[in-house]
Chain A
Amino acid sequence: MSKEMTIHLKYWKQNGPSDPGHFEERTLDTVNEHMSFLEMLDVLNEELQLDGIDPLEFDYDCREGICGSCNLVINGQAHGPKDKTACCQLHMRNYKDGDKITIEPPRAAAFPVIKDLVVDRSAFDRIIEAGGYISVKTGSAQEANATPIEKEASDASFDYATCIGCGACVAACPNASASLFTGAKIAHLNHVPQGELERTKRVVAMVDQMKEEGFGDCSNFAECEAVCPVGISISAIAEMRRDYVKAVIS
């Protein structure tokens, strides 16, 4: 038997970056406990449209917790209350009948609001463009064992490569810093021989771009690690700092 709940929603409405935006409220009486958070928002939008009101815009794609498109700040926490869980994988059974839920977009100058809860995260793309790549000739995939990599290095690289670029780190950071994202994108390449060629250039360019985009400074709050849906550790930031110092010394 699935349970139905009444949920009181308070959500952010904003018609673009120049609109000051405001909160609206609505109560849903038929929230099934097995719904995902985004399915609950689908129900909200059905109700809104039946009443002739503009639906609430929010970002999503895979709804499987792997693409990083969804990034809502739910009751003040990026992706909501569950550890290592993207909000598309957050289910309404985590809430109680009568709960009040506040939904806001990730708030950062570098993430301007496109509409309602949808923000422009292309600042992340530009950080990657600055150095998050390797310059090798493409073509057919080479034989898998042509470049031997120690297991520890490949595991570390893969751990950092799990970053899905959702921006929860920025959303949750009291300073709106993008250090965890940038650190992860640098570290996953710097741990393997393929990334060695641009190692020093990469860290300097990506750190510069991070500042250029208007993200804040890191104050070692480590809140980014707490909200990261894939559990990337702040050791990524430490590695970025080490690599940066090495780049300056070299």
Chain B
Amino acid sequence: MPSLLKAMNSQVGRKIMTGITGVALMLFLIGHLAGNLSIFGSADAFNIYTKTLMDLGPLLYVIEAALAFLFLYHTVLGVSIWLKKRKARPQSYDTYKTKGGPSHQSLASRSMIISGSVIFIFLILHIIHFKFGAEYTTMIDGVEARDLRQLVLEEFQKTWVVIAYVFVLALTILHLSHGFWSAFTSLGMKNQNRSKKIQMTAYAFAIILMLAFIFIPLYIYFTGGQGSLITY
């Protein structure tokens, strides 16, 4: 039988690993959203959340390294599958049309490489933007802590920042609406009725999750950070 390394590099293994890393990243997004929504909690809630993460110390580095690995592995697999397709069909068709029906060819599925690439670039800029952004400080229970909330409230009042975030998050709806279903299919889902339900769940998951993400910058922008959901 093949070694684990060879199996992971087989055409079946690569797809399964894309599915596994995809599911892990979707779970991360749920956690990320939960953390983000704490901005609507008490005045200190968001900073307590970020402080709790920072206080993990070396464990945070391990988590960050694991996340970076997941993102990179998922990206490398996606890009290499895309590159191989050019090799497998060096000459493209003059005319190409989907036959519809059971086909899952759609704007979402055909643009995974584009949406994925934009998300990847965004991710790097997003980390630079907030993690390595301006260091404001605040006091939590008499201890000095980073005031990330202040930075978020400031940044999301800039028009170009809000436009960029909303654009990328909307693009993520597209990526997830195929990715969610595709992950299940990659991991061996074979029941056709279940497949249809999973596709509907995929649309709901992608839209609800991303609209919740999008709500935050839009709310801060349109209320000038003074809306009733933001407590001072």
Contacts and interface: CB of A to CB of B under 8 A. Distances in A.
Report if A and B associate in a common complex: yes
Interface of A: 10, 21, 23, 73, 75-78, 81, 83, 102, 104, 107-110, 172, 174-177, 179, 200, 204, 207-208, 210-211, 214-223, 225-227, 233-235, 237-242, 244-245, 247-248, 250
Contacts of B142: none
A77 B99 CA distance: 7
A244 B89 contact: no
A217 B81 contact: yes
B146 to A, nearest CB: 41
Contacts of A176: 85, 88-89
B105 A242 contact: no
Contact of A216 (B1, B89, B98, B102): B89
A235 B112 CA distance: 22
Contacts of A242: 188, 190
B96 interface: yes
A115 to B, nearest CB: 15
B88 A109 contact: yes
Nearest to B113: A219
B89 A245 contact: no
A14 B74 CA distance: 39
Given A73-B93, A172-B99, A221-B104, A177 B11 contact: yes
Given A176-B85, A221-B104, A245-B16, A238 B10 contact: no
B99 A204 contact: no
Residue of B13, B92, B93, B98 with most partner-chain A CB within 10 A = B93
A240 B166 CA distance: 39
